[in-house]
Structure 1
C-alpha cells in the first residue's frame, strides 16, 4: 500500500500499490485506520453497525455491551495473544515532579529510596493483582486470556525442544527460592499475586528503609489519561489491590489525572529519563523485531537500551559526558544484567546455548523486579468481518500488521467459524514444522 493521508489523532489512509510485485494477493484498493482516544468505548461498535468499520473492539464492562450481545449473540470472538508485552515500570531516577501529590523534597527522596529497594519492588510485584487489572479492559471472562508473566513470551523460542519459559522459570526459582519457588510463569494466569508474600516483603523493606531514615507510607504517583475510561479503571484497580495487599500505612498509590498529551509527555514520550514524571507507570510495552530473545531483553541494556527512559534512565553510551542515571543503575545492579546480555550475545554457533544464556538474563530481570510484565497485546473481544486466519502470522516484525492476503466477508464472523478456522490453522502450522 501507498500512504495517502496521515492526520494526527484522526485517520491514516492507504491506497493499493498497483506496481507491487504480488498485487493479486492484496485484496482491497483502500484501507483506512481511524483514531480512537478511548473516551467512547461503545462508539466503536456503533461505527461497526453503521458500516464504517470492518472490525471493532468491544468492551464487556461497558453499558453498551448488552447491545453487542443482543445483535450478535454468537458474534463476539477473541483474538489470539500477540508478541508484544505490556508492563508496569518503576522510575528509578525521577527528575520531574509536575504531576505529583508529593509536597516535600523528603517525600520525593523517600519514594526514590523505596523504589531502589528490591524488597519493596517484590512487595509491589506480589501485591499487584494483574488479573483484576486486566479484567477492567476485557471483563472477567477474558481476564486470563493474555496475562503474561515474562517479558519474552514463554513460547517465543525453544531450548532443546522445550519452551524458553521453562528455562527462565528454572533459573528464576534457583536465584531466589523463597521469593519465586512457587511461582509459575506459564501464560494465561497471574503467576505472582500473593498478598501474604507481599506483606512479608513490605515488612522487610520497611525495616531496612526506616533504618536509613525513610518515613512511611511511601507515596507512588501513577499518571493516567483522564479521558481514557478503561485506562482510568485499570489504574484504579492497581491502586486498590496494591493498597489492600500492603496496607495504606505502607504504600499509597496517588493517581494523577492528566490530559492525553500530558500523560504521553510524562511517560512514553518523555524526551529523557529525567523527564519521566511518574513513580510507577503502565505506559510501557515492547514487541519483537526479529525472532531472538535479544529483541526484547536488549531494551534494558544500561548502555544502549531502547526503553531505558521508561525506567527513568539514560543509555550511558548515548549521552555526552557522565551518565546522569549512573547512581540509579548502580543501586539496582544493572551492570550484572549487561554482563549476562553480553554473554548471551557472544554465542552464535549454538542457538540452544544462546537462548539458554538469554533465559539467565531474563531470570535476573524478573528476580530484580526491574519491571512487572502484565499482558500481551491482543487477546481481545471484537466483532469482525475479517475472515479468520487470512492475516499473515508471525511473532516478529511487520507480520502482525500486514494486510496482504487479508479477506473480508459480508457477514460477521461467528464463534463457530472462528473456532473451526483456528483448529485448521493449528493443524496446518503443526504440519509445517
Structure 2
C-alpha cells in the first residue's frame, strides 16, 4: 500500500524561513563546540491561567489547552515529525487507491490500554476507532457536538447518523450498540487491525485528519467499566491511556504531571520520566521561576526581553532565542448577541457591532504595533496577522501560498515586493463618520462600550489589556469606542463565554487537518459544526437582517468551496474568495501571530511543527539540555533544520 505520508503535498513548516537575531557576544561556547550536554529527565514547563485544562476526555474537547496535554495520553493512527510531516504511529501503513474516496489504515498489533497505575487493561484493536466515532456522532452521548464537524463533512453517513440519534430519546441513544452505526456510517474493520473509511467525496487530505481527536480511539471496555453516562465527567484516575504518558496528577489551577507509560508501544523513542506543567500567573512570574531553576523554559514579556536584549552584560544576553511560529492564527472575534450581567440583551453593543461601517472602522483604523511589542519588541511586525487562515497550511500547484492569494484579493498593498499593512487612517475616519451617522439614527449611544475580559490577578494580562485599551483610544477615540476591562476568576468559558458577556475575545485557531475548510468552517451560519459561530460569535442568535444576510452569503461561498473536490487549485481559489469576503466585511479581524522570544533548555527544532493537528505539544523525541541553549546554538539548529 502506498503511504501517502511520502507524497504529501500540503504545506510544511519547514517551508518557512527561520531567522534568529545574533545578539550573542560570542563569549560562550555553543553546545555544538563543547559537545552534547546532559539531557533533562524530568521536564518542568508552564502554562498561564487562560490556558488551563477544562476537559480530560479527549473526544469531548476541541480546546488547545486540553489537547496540548491529552495528545500525550491518547494516540491515534499517525504522528507528525519536527518538520510537520505525517509519519507512522499506531498505523504502520496507510493510504488510498482512489484519490481519497476510501482510506485504509493498517495498525500495529502491540498497543495496550493501561489505567492510571500503568496496569494493562486491554489490547488496542480496530473496533476502538469504531467505538470512538460512534460516541462522537451520537447526539446524546456527545451533546456538545465536539469533534463532529470533520466526520460529518467527510465520512459517508456520519451526518445522517447524528440526525438519527437526535430523533431518539436520551435513554434510547445511550443504549445504542454499534450495529445501527455500522449500517449507516462509512467505516469498517475487515480484521482486528485494519480500519477502512469511506468518504462522501474524494478527500485527498483525509489522512491529515488522523492527528485530530475526531479520529482518535476509545475502548469499549473503558465505556463499559465507567458507564456511558459517566464518560464525559470521569476523572483522570478512571481514564484509560494508550499514549506515551499517563496523567498521574491534575491539581486545577496548580500543576499537571505526566508520567512515562512503561507499556507504551514505541520502545525506541525518547521520553521524559515525568513532565510537570506548572500554572503560573503570567510569564513575568514564570521568568522568576526560570531564574531560580524551577522551570526549564519561559517566553519573555516585553520588560524582561528589553532588559536582557539591551544589556550585553546581562547573564542571559547570549541565551535569547526566537521561537518558531506556531500554528495558530489569532482573530478578534465579536459577539453579535451579547448579554448584560442580568441576562438581558446588550442592545447598544449588538446594534453597533451589526453595523458594517462600525466593524470596518476598527479593521482599518486599529494599529496594534504596541500590542505586538508586548510579545516581540525586537521584531514586532512579525506578529502582525493579515488573514484568517494560517500561512503555510496549503499551496496552489504553482507554489503560491494560499494566504498570499487572500492578501491579493483583499488588495493588501505592496512596497518593494513586501506586503504592507491594512491600516488606512483616512478610510477608517470616513467609516467612523458613516457608522456614527447610521447608528445614531438607530438610537445607539456613544461611546459604544466594548467589554473585554482577562484573568483576575494577572498583572501581565492587565498590562496587555491596558495597552489594547490605549490602542483603541488613540486610533479610534474613546468618544467612539470605550474598551472596558473585566475579569474572570478561573474559567473564561464558564464565567464569560457561556453567559455571553464578552463584546470581543482574541482567540486563535490552529487547523485540525490540512485543508482550508477547517478554518472557514468554524464561522458559518446556521451549522452546529461551526465552532466559533456556536460558542463565541453567537451569530445564529443575531437579529439584524443585513448582518444575517452577510453571514449567509459567506456561508454559501464556503459551502461552494467545500463541494469542489477534484481540482485543489479550484477549491483553494473558492475558499480564498470566501475568506476575502469575510475580511472585507470585517466579520472577524485578524489579530496576531505568536512569534515570541524565550530562554529555554528545549531545542524547538526537535519538536513537531505541524500546521495542523494536535501533536505539537507531544513530549516525544524532544532534544533538551540541563544547560540553557544559546543564541549560537539556535542558529546552528536553524541552519541544520532548513537544509
**TM-score of the pair, normalised by structure 2:** 0.57
Quick one: structure 1 residues 409 and 5, their matched pair in 2 at CA, closer, same or farther if it must change by over 3 Å?
A: same
For residues 197-236 of structure 1, what are the structure 2 equivalents within 5 Å? 197-236=427-466
Alpha-carbon contact 1:77-1:383 (below 8 Å) kept: yes
Quick one: structure 1 residues 23 and 287, their matched pair in 2 at CA, closer, same or farther if it must change by over 3 Å?
A: same
Shift of 1:328: 6.8
Alpha-carbon contact 1:58-1:382 (below 8 Å) kept: yes
Quick one: structure 1 residues 183 and 277, their matched pair in 2 at CA, closer, same or farther if it must change by over 3 Å?
A: farther
Counterpart of 1:431 in structure 2 is: none
Counterpart of 1:318 in structure 2 is: none
Quick one: structure 1 residues 50 and 252, their matched pair in 2 at CA, closer, same or farther if it must change by over 3 Å?
A: closer
Task: Determine which of 258, 267, 272 is the counterpart of 1:28.
Answer: 272
Greater mean deviation of Cα atoms: 2-11 or 229-238: 229-238
Counterpart of 1:178 in structure 2 is: none
Shift of 1:314: 6.0
CA distance in 1, matches of 2:551, 2:513: 24
Greater mean deviation of Cα atoms: 190-199 or 407-416: 190-199
Name the SS for the 1:235 alignment partner.
helix
CA distance in 2, matches of 1:336, 1:83: 28
Shift of 1:415: 0.9
Shift of 1:157: 1.0
Name the SS for the 2:329 alignment partner.
strand
Counterpart of 1:361 in structure 2 is: 578
Quick one: structure 1 residues 359 and 63, their matched pair in 2 at CA, closer, same or farther if it must change by over 3 Å?
A: closer
CA distance in 1, matches of 2:383, 2:327: 10
Name the SS for the 1:155 alignment partner.
coil
Counterpart of 1:296 in structure 2 is: 519
Name the SS for the 2:508 alignment partner.
strand
Counterpart of 1:413 in structure 2 is: 629
Shift of 1:399: 2.8
CA distance in 1, matches of 2:444, 2:284: 46
CA distance in 2, matches of 1:353, 1:17: 46
Alpha-carbon contact 1:118-1:369 (below 8 Å) kept: yes
Counterpart of 2:607 in structure 1 is: 391
CA distance in 1, matches of 2:342, 2:292: 42
Greater mean deviation of Cα atoms: 336-345 or 53-62: 53-62
Measured against aligned partners, the alpha-carbon deviations of 1:350-397 in whole angstroms (never above 9, x if no partner) come to 2111111111111111111111111123x1211111134111231111
CA distance in 1, matches of 2:615, 2:551: 32
Quick one: structure 1 residues 28 and 311, their matched pair in 2 at CA, closer, same or farther if it must change by over 3 Å?
A: closer
Name the SS for the 1:399 alignment partner.
coil
After TM superposition, the runs of 4+ consecutive aligned structure 1 residues lying more than 4 A away are 62-69, 326-330
CA distance in 1, matches of 2:485, 2:545: 24
Alpha-carbon contact 1:91-1:279 (below 8 Å) kept: yes
Alpha-carbon contact 1:183-1:192 (below 8 Å) kept: no
Task: Determine which of 475, 484, 489 is the counterpart of 1:260.
Answer: 489
Task: Please report the RMSD computed on the Cα atoms of aligned residues, expressed in angstroms.
Answer: 2.8
Counterpart of 1:279 in structure 2 is: 503
Task: Determine which of 182, 185, 201 is the counterpart of 2:413.
Answer: 182
Counterpart of 1:166 in structure 2 is: 404
Shift of 1:209: 1.9
Which is greater in Rg? 2
Alpha-carbon contact 2:522-2:531 (below 8 Å) kept: yes
Alpha-carbon contact 1:116-1:332 (below 8 Å) kept: no
CA distance in 2, matches of 1:361, 1:71: 50
Task: Determine which of 50, 53, 58 is the counterpart of 2:292.
Answer: 50
Measured against aligned partners, the alpha-carbon deviations of 1:142-187 in whole angstroms (never above 9, x if no partner) come to 42233211121233211131010122123223xxxxxxx6389x99
Quick one: structure 1 residues 291 and 159, their matched pair in 2 at CA, closer, same or farther if it must change by over 3 Å?
A: same
Alpha-carbon contact 1:301-1:337 (below 8 Å) kept: yes
Alpha-carbon contact 2:246-2:260 (below 8 Å) kept: yes
Greater mean deviation of Cα atoms: 355-364 or 228-237: 228-237
Name the SS for the 2:318 alignment partner.
coil
Counterpart of 2:565 in structure 1 is: 348
Name the SS for the 1:14 alignment partner.
strand
Task: Determine which of 335, 339, 358 is the counterpart of 1:91.
Answer: 335
Alpha-carbon contact 1:77-1:418 (below 8 Å) kept: yes
Alpha-carbon contact 1:329-1:335 (below 8 Å) kept: no
Alpha-carbon contact 2:387-2:583 (below 8 Å) kept: yes
CA distance in 1, matches of 2:537, 2:505: 11
Measured against aligned partners, the alpha-carbon deviations of 1:279-328 in whole angstroms (never above 9, x if no partner) come to 2233x22111111111111111221211124544166xxxxxxxx44557
CA distance in 2, matches of 1:220, 1:416: 45
CA distance in 1, matches of 2:505, 2:271: 40
CA distance in 1, matches of 2:371, 2:405: 27
Counterpart of 2:159 in structure 1 is: none
Count of aligned pairs: 393
- 1:132 corresponds to 2:374: no
Quick one: structure 1 residues 398 and 344, their matched pair in 2 at CA, closer, same or farther if it must change by over 3 Å?
A: same
Alpha-carbon contact 1:150-1:373 (below 8 Å) kept: yes
Counterpart of 2:588 in structure 1 is: 371
**TM-score of the pair, normalised by structure 1:** 0.82
Measured against aligned partners, the alpha-carbon deviations of 1:220-277 in whole angstroms (never above 9, x if no partner) come to 2222224222322222222222222222332222222x2333754354xx23xxx210
Quick one: structure 1 residues 91 and 183, their matched pair in 2 at CA, closer, same or farther if it must change by over 3 Å?
A: farther
Quick one: structure 1 residues 263 and 287, their matched pair in 2 at CA, closer, same or farther if it must change by over 3 Å?
A: same
Measured against aligned partners, the alpha-carbon deviations of 1:96-120 in whole angstroms (never above 9, x if no partner) come to 3369xxxx98xx4333221111111
Quick one: structure 1 residues 3 and 352, their matched pair in 2 at CA, closer, same or farther if it must change by over 3 Å?
A: same
Alpha-carbon contact 1:129-1:190 (below 8 Å) kept: no
CA distance in 1, matches of 2:338, 2:275: 42
